[in-house]
């Protein structure tokens, strides 16, 4: 074998070795798993600490990164020098540096599973949002009192409660207060699909009025099977022009839903929410109504009942009546039991 051929072979062998070494080094830096996760892997990047070096150091300090040296190396290679977008990120076990950097650079957040239900006030909603999202409670409540903001959403100060449909939503942690409200409006529009709108129209009610009625019914009973029956009572009264005489509306005016006994003096409170004084529905919901109650109103039970009264056995169920005479008998039994139990308010 000539010296020339020998040199060529040696050069080729060296080239192969260099390629293999480079490939191995590249794999080690870029594609080899570089994360270890033994918890939920959730990391919050805030505005005040979102430089690349700060975020990498946070990941290292929390034990997610095996080699910060290789991570920094790949970041420089990919020219990732800008700040990381604030947000809530999820680190997965076994991620390589390329995957991790791509996620942070693109700002691919892991959403919060935001659930709210059984809420009576906007303040309760704002508190819940503040606990789970990076929104300011004061800012959110300020927006909910801004007439221009409410008008742009299609509501006013009385009807805005209707916009919130209690459910579970996937929302980015750093969503702004205004964007959160816009998201709730989007979910409201999605909820009121063609089928629900058709049923509301057939009842002669707007979506806000349906929810207002649902909010009253949800305060009337703890028995879901009674929702459509009570809805039927109120629909009958509305259609006949009879005042609703709904106790929960007075409790709303008084600001106390724990009241067990409606006293005569309460009936004289002059408020548009006093359904003992004013016919029709109040100006807006008295709480956030659940989907189950809203659908129960839209699918109300058709019957001839005009009255209902809590049963005297305190079972949580109600007696339903077609006549005032029968209703008064049930009401007398219930009030006698209140007296017996010494429940005066």
User: Following DSSP, what letter does each residue of 275-326 receive, concatenated?
Assistant: TTTS-S--SS-SS---HHHHHHHHTPPP----EEEE-TT-SS-EEEESSHHH
pLDDT of residue 25: 45
Give the DSSP H/E element, type plus range, for residue 116. Answer: strand 112-116
Q: Are 186 and 127 in contact (CB under 8 A)?
A: no
Q: Are 165 and 289 in contact (CB under 8 A)?
A: no
Q: How far apart are CA 60 and CA 68, in angstroms?
A: 7
Residue 87's φ and ψ, nearest 5 degrees, are: 165, -175
The model's pTM: 0.86
pLDDT of residue 275: 97
pLDDT of residue 335: 87
pLDDT less than 50: residues of the chain: 8-28
Which tens digits make up the pLDDT trace of 230-261?
999 999 999 999 999 999 999 999 998 888 77
Q: Are 135 and 183 in contact (CB under 8 A)?
A: no
pLDDT of residue 262: 82
- CA torsion sign, 29 to 32 to 38 to 43? positive
pLDDT of residue 298: 98
Ramachandran region, residue 316 (left: φ > 0; alpha: ψ -120 to 50; beta: rest): left
SS3 158: coil
């Amino acid at each position: 074998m000539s010296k020339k051929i020998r040199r060529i072979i040696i050069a080729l062998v060296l080239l192969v070795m260099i390629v293999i070494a480079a490939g191995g080094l590249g794999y080690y830096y870029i594609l080899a798993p570089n994360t270890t996760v033994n918890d939920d892997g959730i990391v919050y990047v805030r505005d005040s600490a979102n430089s690349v070096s700060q975020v990498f150091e946070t990941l290292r300090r929390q034990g997610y990164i095996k080699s910060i040296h290789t991570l920094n190396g790949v970041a420089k290679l990919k020219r990732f020098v800008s700040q990381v977008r604030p947000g809530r990120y999820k680190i997965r076990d076994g991620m390589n540096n390329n995957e991790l950097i791509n996620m942070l650079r693109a700002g691919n957040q892991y959403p919060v599973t935001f659930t709210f239900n059984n809420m009576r006030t906007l303040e309760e909603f704002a508190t819940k949002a503040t606990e789970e999202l990076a929104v300011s409670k004061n800012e959110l409540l300020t927006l909910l009192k801004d007439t221009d903001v409410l008008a742009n959403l299609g509501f006013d100060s009385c009807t805005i409660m209707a916009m919130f449909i209690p459910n579970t939503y996937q929302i980015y942690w750093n969503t702004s207060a205004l964007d959160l409200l816009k998201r709730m409006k989007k979910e409201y529009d999605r909820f009121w699909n063609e089928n629900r709108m058709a049923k509301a129209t057939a009842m002669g009610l707007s979506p806000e009025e349906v929810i207002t009625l649902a909010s009253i019914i949800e305060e009337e009973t703890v028995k879901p099977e009674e929702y459509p029956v009570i809805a039927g009572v109120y629909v009958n009264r509305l259609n006949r022009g009879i005042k609703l005489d709904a106790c929960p509306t007075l409790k709303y005016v008084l600001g106390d839903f724990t009241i067990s006994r409606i006293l005569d003096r309460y009936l004289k409170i002059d408020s548009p929410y006093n359904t003992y004084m004013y016919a029709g529905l109040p100006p807006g919901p008295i709480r956030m109504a659940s989907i189950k109650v809203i659908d129960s109103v839209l699918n109300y039970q058709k019957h001839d009942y005009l009255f209902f009264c809590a049963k005297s056995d305190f079972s949580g169920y109600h007696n339903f009546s077609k006549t005032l005479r029968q209703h008064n008998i049930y009401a007398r039994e219930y009030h006698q039991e209140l007296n017996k139990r010494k429940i005066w308010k």
